Amino acid sequence: MKRNAFSVIMATNKENAIWKEAVEAETSTFKQNKGRRKAPFYKVLQGMPIAVDAFRYGKIPGVTAYFLTHAHSDHYTNLSSKWANGLIYCSQETADLIIHVLNVDPKWVKPLQNDVPTTIPSTGGVRVTVIEANHCPGSSIFLFEGLQTANAGDGSFTSPFIGSSRTFRYLHCGDFRASPRHVLHPAIKGKNLNHVYLDTTYLDPKYTFPPQPQVIAACAELAQRLSTLYSHSKGPGNDVQASTVSCTGVAPKSLGKTLVVIGSVSTLLPERWTYSVGKERVVGAVAKRLGAKVYCDARKAGVLRCQSDPELIAMLTSDPREACVHIVPLSLISAERLKGYADSWRDTFTRVVGLRPTGWTFSPPSGAGLVTDISSMLTKAQHRQFTWQDLRQMKGSNVNLQVYAVPYSEHSSFFELTCFALSVEWEKMIATVNIGSEASRAKMNRWFDCWKKEKAKRNEHIVQYRDIDYW
Ligand SMILES: [Zn+2]
């Protein structure tokens, strides 16, 4: 094994001590640290005065640049109109969102152009490349390149590489859904990555779910079939007649129209509205296939308008009766709760189809979770296909109100994490999710070791993929 910064600081006997300190920092109270929570080591890049998704720690000692991967609340915690601790770097869409929704003063927000390496001021010359994360609109992964010039942060470790002439490369993945596009990106392909900060949300073989583009296509296909003339007794099978009753179509009056309701926005909290970005791809694909308008409340529409999706923005309408696709809070999408919603539009829509996109409630195929060897797991996963026929109706559905669970994830599956790890050159993986317990960290470390060994065995540098957008 190469002697590198991390093998020095993370020698097994030290690793747990460093994580222990990080967990203590994360759970520390304001009182213990004079009104400020301490930032754990993985929030500040080693040897660089840069923090990522670290807004809940106030002004972190030595940090001169704050990066935000995306506008999900667990990543921007504490970011508000009161922020005054330093410049925030992020994608243009994320910048628009935090200014529009969180009222962050624009003078602190520095949007960066995707895919163009940019030198960040006051960081000792660190260059960053912003790359689309394939998570939610505006989400990014960051590739940082530069020298180690400062021991910033609250950790007690000091890097031995400060002042050395060695260039370090860190890939921060925030939240992402790994795809071949990432590993083929010119900033990543063939480059030696010293640290990869990995979105380990689903780093467990039990998390097998279909590629997102297949799921999106399945939703669009299902919505179209259910909006099409068919015999009620037979359901939306292959025997569907071809004549479509779309929003704009000419269905016989007696059959009426179908409303597709898609869960996306979060619910309202008593004091502060929590907005949500994500799931837009399902909405866009379904509406496009149906040739339909999209309705959502004014606040969600405001959020959508911050996003660079002109096609979706053009489909928006403020008239719910004009739209065959509605975006509603995810919590509303159950047969029981959707009934009331369906009733309120009965004068216009005779049938309601609910789509509940969520990454958490799928049931994995039997046998998933048992990985005896990585190669056969990859082959098996690459042969799985997902079509509209795999979408399952939820409990309580009937002919006029059908609710479907959609296995839609905006994080990488275990299979995708494995493909990603086998396709990039890395020295050290740093988990950023499920890190609270020693047992969970040890379990993830075993997979990192497994990937290292498998990578050493393989001839191919990039795991063969089915499509540029998924393995
Ligand atoms: Zn997220």
DSSP string, 156-206: S---TTTT-S--EEEEE-SS----HHHHHSTTTTTPEEEEEEE--TT-STT
| pLDDT value at residue 232 | 43
Ligand 1 geometric centre to CA of 175 (Å): 5
Q: pLDDT band for 461, please (50, 70, 90 cuts).
A: confident
Ligand 1 geometric centre to CA of 438 (Å): 24
Res. 76: pLDDT tops 50: yes
| pLDDT value at residue 273 | 41
d(CA 218, CA 449) in angstroms, rounded, equals 36
Average pLDDT of span 89-110: 94
Q: What are phi and psi of 374, to 5 degrees?
A: -65, -40
Q: How many CB atoms lie within 10 A of CB 334?
A: 18
**Per-residue model confidence as pLDDT tens digits over 417-444:** 999 999 999 999 999 999 988 999 999 9
Ligand 1 geometric centre to CA of 133 (Å): 10
Q: pLDDT band for 459, please (50, 70, 90 cuts).
A: confident
Ligand 1 geometric centre to CA of 304 (Å): 16
Closest CA to 388 of 342, 355, 352, 349: 355
Ligand 1 geometric centre to CA of 245 (Å): 36
Average pLDDT of span 220-240: 63
Ligand 1 geometric centre to CA of 99 (Å): 18
Ligand 1 geometric centre to CA of 255 (Å): 40
| pLDDT value at residue 238 | 39
Cα 359 from chain centroid (whole Å): 10
d(CA 192, CA 168) in angstroms, rounded, equals 9
| pLDDT value at residue 177 | 96
| pLDDT value at residue 23 | 82
CB 149 within 8 A of CB 184: no
Ligand 1 geometric centre to CA of 241 (Å): 40
Distances (CA, A) of 33 to 30, 38, 193, 384: 6, 7, 34, 51
Ligand 1 geometric centre to CA of 326 (Å): 23
| pLDDT value at residue 145 | 98
Listed range (40-54, 276-290, 421-435, 445-459) with the worst mean pLDDT: 276-290
| pLDDT value at residue 30 | 59
Ligand 1 geometric centre to CA of 362 (Å): 19
How do 127-132 and 118-119 pair as beta strands? antiparallel
Q: Is 215 left (phi over 0), alpha (psi -120 to 50) or beta?
A: alpha
Ligand 1 geometric centre to CA of 232 (Å): 40
Q: Which is more confident, 36 or 385? A: 385
Ligand 1 geometric centre to CA of 177 (Å): 10
d(CA 69, CA 63) in angstroms, rounded, equals 17
Helix pair 92-102, 298-305: axis angle to 10 deg: 150
Q: What are phi and psi of 37, to 5 degrees?
A: -75, 140
| pLDDT value at residue 363 | 61
Domains of the chain: 5-206+413-457 (3.60.15.10), 212-407 (3.40.50.12650)
Listed range (128-142, 290-304, 327-341, 355-369) with the worst mean pLDDT: 355-369
Ligand 1 geometric centre to CA of 291 (Å): 29
d(CA 32, CA 34) in angstroms, rounded, equals 6
Q: Contacts by 336-344 with C-beta closer than 8 Å and gap 24+?
A: 336/396, 338/261, 338/401, 338/403, 339/401, 341/261, 342/259, 342/400, 342/401
Ligand 1 geometric centre to CA of 179 (Å): 16
Ligand 1 geometric centre to CA of 16 (Å): 27
Average pLDDT of span 105-114: 98
Ligand 1 geometric centre to CA of 70 (Å): 7
Q: pLDDT band for 6, please (50, 70, 90 cuts).
A: low
Ligand 1 geometric centre to CA of 178 (Å): 13
CB 99 within 8 A of CB 109: yes
d(CA 448, CA 432) in angstroms, rounded, equals 13
Q: pLDDT band for 367, please (50, 70, 90 cuts).
A: low
Ligand 1 geometric centre to CA of 410 (Å): 8
Structure-token pair, residue 12: 């097994």
Ligand 1 geometric centre to CA of 71 (Å): 7
Ligand 1 geometric centre to CA of 75 (Å): 7
| pLDDT value at residue 269 | 37
Ligand 1 geometric centre to CA of 69 (Å): 9
Average pLDDT of span 276-282: 79
H or E segment at 424? none
| pLDDT value at residue 331 | 87
Read off the pTM. 0.88
Ligand 1 geometric centre to CA of 180 (Å): 20
Ligand 1 geometric centre to CA of 403 (Å): 25
Average pLDDT of span 325-330: 91
Average pLDDT of span 326-355: 92
Ligand 1 geometric centre to CA of 139 (Å): 8
Average pLDDT of span 81-89: 97
Ligand 1 geometric centre to CA of 297 (Å): 22
Ligand 1 geometric centre to CA of 331 (Å): 18
Structure-token pair, residue 383: 């042969």
Average pLDDT of span 86-95: 96
Listed range (70-84, 145-159, 293-307) with the worst mean pLDDT: 293-307
| pLDDT value at residue 274 | 47
Structure-token pair, residue 116: 């163009």
Ligand 1 geometric centre to CA of 172 (Å): 13
Ligand 1 geometric centre to CA of 68 (Å): 11
Ligand 1 geometric centre to CA of 176 (Å): 8
| pLDDT value at residue 330 | 86
Res. 252: pLDDT tops 50: no
Q: pLDDT band for 59, please (50, 70, 90 cuts).
A: very high
Ligand 1 geometric centre to CA of 416 (Å): 17
- Whose tokens are 């990585």? That residue is 374
Res. 74: pLDDT tops 90: no
